[in-house]
Amino acid sequence: MKTNRWAKTIGIALCVLGTLALLAKLPPQNTVSGSVNGREVIGQSASFTSSAHLASQTESATLQLGAQTAHVTADTVKLPGNRTIQIPIGTRQIKLFETRNDIRVVFSPSGVQ
């Protein structure tokens, strides 16, 4: 009887370890990308359980990162709460990151990560 109990315990432990190993291999977040007016637009969700969607056209893009939505045009980034950020001259890449209650924006010239 004691042997059977140990076998069950070891089996459960192996299942837990296998599940943890599988979860560790999942990507930490979801990423989407597109372009607006020659600029690369990248959106990144906060975690793999949060969604990331990008609807892109030539002149604008709408990003849905979790429950937050941002709209990127040729000159501006419109964020939740009716906030608008002007895109600096020379920007080639716009990264939007979902945070707990907002979206963080990072502007980069071409070739800079």
Q: Can you tell me the distance from the alpha carbon of 113 to that of 101, in angstroms, rounded to the nearest whole number? A: 24
Average pLDDT of the residues in 69-83? 94
pLDDT bin (cut points 50, 70, 90) of residue 30 is confident
Order of all β-strands in the sheet with 60-65: 52-56, 60-65, 68-73, 76-79, 83-86
Scan for tokens 């609807």, then name that residue.
55
CA distances from 106 to 8, 13, 94, 96, 111 (A): 51, 43, 6, 7, 14
pTM of full prediction above 0.95: no
Task: Output DSSP code: residue 88.
Answer: P
| Predicted pLDDT of residue 7 | 77
Average pLDDT, the chain: 85
| Predicted pLDDT of residue 2 | 61
Average pLDDT of the residues in 16-28? 67
Q: Can you tell me the distance from the alpha carbon of 36 to that of 31, in angstroms, rounded to the nearest whole number? A: 17
Does the pLDDT of residue 65 top 60, yes or no?
Answer: yes
